[in-house]
Amino acid sequence: TPEMTGDFATLMTWVDKFRKLKVRTNADTPKDSKTAREFGAEGIGLCRTEHMFFEADRIAAVREMILAEDVEGRKKALVKILPMQKGDFLGIFREMKGLPVTIRLLDPPLHEFLPHEDKDIDELAKTMGVTPKTLKNKVEYLHEFNPMLGHRGCRLGLTFPEIYDMQVQAIMEAACELVKNEGFDIVPEIMIPLVAVDKELKTLRENAITVCEEVIGRYGIKVEYLIGTMIELPRAALTADEIALEAEFFSFGTNDLTQTTFGLSRDDAGKFLPFYVESGLLEDDPFVSLDQNGVGQLVKIACEKGRATRPHIKLGICGEHGGDPASVIFCHKIGLDYVSCSPFRVPIARLAAAHAALMDK
């Protein structure tokens, strides 16, 4: 078990006295949440919801939703997913015992969900009452050449508002149930991914508030919630003052921010980045250690602009860099509130955060 005992546990209690940065974790399951808590995570900074849509008991309904003819068809399919999604959040909230949890609404490229094998298409066509040919055409139409720059993130929430509405409903019903029946004190943090333009966030925030208020009213209790966004595109960083009007928190998605700032595909860069590092063109792999020049500039600008609009805006990082010591030190220097990293990196981040604080003395 990852339990921390003995001298190491003592060292970590000292470490925690010094650090200013909070350390959260990236976790999508109760199991990962538990591991992270045992390692000292003080909340979840990123709960990615996409894997939940791939699970065997719901992928058929997800495909039905994407390929449906109209809103009614989409809603019919989403009703099947709602109780499962609510169960996902109940499990995570329970495991985190009232610590903050940031849930990111669906992000992956739409095409990743599509069926490609004939037998899957035939089966789905039968359920949906259409011909396999019709479905095949739709699948082909939805194909993307650059999926990482395509129909993903908040673009999904704008073109298919029913998806985000269902997720927000599931988050708030789970939170309200725990507050009402189990005495929890929860303030869910709802996070919108891949925002580039303030209007995207304005629309999605309004939609989310409508759903949250409907659920809270139905339970007849008082539950607070926060709505915020990821800053993971250069345009979002540069216009963070406008975006902060609609966001109670920012979380830096430095994986995408690195990809889009360098114009380097995060899925393909492994083929040539080692050459760059070996030959000194780059000091480090920017997907591992935050590039403190270009990408770091954008992060700093976004912090300043975000605070200019909303002085107490909560600021965190949830890209892989949140668990890299040099990047954690950078995050301390620019005054983020927390870093979020994978469960097994939580102790490393705690140490690095204390190291950064001691360097100030």
Which amino acids are annotated as binding site for Mg(2+), given as ranges?
Answer: 232, 256
For residue 356, what are the CA distances in angstroms to 102, 254, 316, 323, 340? 25, 20, 16, 14, 16
Measure the N-to-C terminal CA separation of the chain; round to a whole number of Å. 36
Q: Kindly state whether residue 323 participates in binding ligand PEP, applying the rule CB under 6 A.
A: no
For ligand PEP, the closer of residues 36 and 318 by Cβ is 318
331 catalytically annotated: no
CB under 6 A: which stretch of 136-144, 254-262, 278-286, 329-337 binds ligand PEP?
254-262
Contact 274, 209 (CB under 8 A): no
Residue the block writes with tokens 């976004």? 302
For residue 76, what are the CA distances in angstroms to 60, 68, 70, 81, 109? 13, 9, 10, 10, 22
- Strand intervals (E) in the chain: 22-26, 44-48, 101-104, 189-192, 226-231, 249-252, 314-317, 338-341
The residues, any chain, with a CB within 8 Å of residue 62's CB and separated by 6 or more, are 53, 54, 77, 81, 113
Q: Kindly state whether residue 320 participates in binding Mg ion, applying the rule CB under 5 A.
A: no
Name residues contacting Mg ion, limited to 233-272 (CB under 5 A): 253, 256
Q: Kindly state whether residue 94 participates in binding ligand PEP, applying the rule CB under 6 A.
A: no
Active-site entry in 47, 154, 212, 318:
318
User: Which one of 32, 256, 291, 324 is in contact with ligand PEP (CB under 6 A)?
Assistant: 256
What is the number of other CB atoms lying within 10 angstroms of the CB of residue 294?
Answer: 14
For ligand PEP, the closer of residues 28 and 177 by Cβ is 28
Summarize the annotated binding site for substrate as residue ranges.
Answer: 48, 104, 232, 253-256
Contact 62, 81 (CB under 8 A): yes
For residue 249, what are the CA distances in angstroms to 2, 246, 288, 317? 31, 9, 24, 11
Q: Kindly state whether residue 234 participates in binding ligand PEP, applying the rule CB under 6 A.
A: no
Neighbouring-strand partners of residue 315: 250
For ligand PEP, the closer of residues 50 and 242 by Cβ is 50
Name residues contacting Mg ion, limited to 184-243 (CB under 5 A): 232
Q: Kindly state whether residue 191 participates in binding ligand PEP, applying the rule CB under 6 A.
A: no
CB of 6 to ligand PEP, least distance (A): 33
Distance, in Å, from the CA atom of 299 to the CA atom of 331, rounded to the nearest integer, reads 9
CB under 6 A: which stretch of 73-81, 87-95, 203-211, 248-256 binds ligand PEP?
248-256
Residue the block writes with tokens 């979840």? 44
For ligand PEP, the closer of residues 273 and 318 by Cβ is 318
CB of 9 to ligand PEP, least distance (A): 29
For ligand PEP, the closer of residues 267 and 304 by Cβ is 267
CB under 6 A: which stretch of 14-22, 58-66, 252-260, 273-281 binds ligand PEP?
252-260
Closest CA to 291 of 333, 321, 322, 334: 321
Catalytic residues: 318
Binding footprint of Mg ion on the chain (CB under 5 A) = 232, 253, 256
Contact residues for ligand PEP, defined by CB under 6 A: 46, 48, 107, 232, 253-256, 318-319
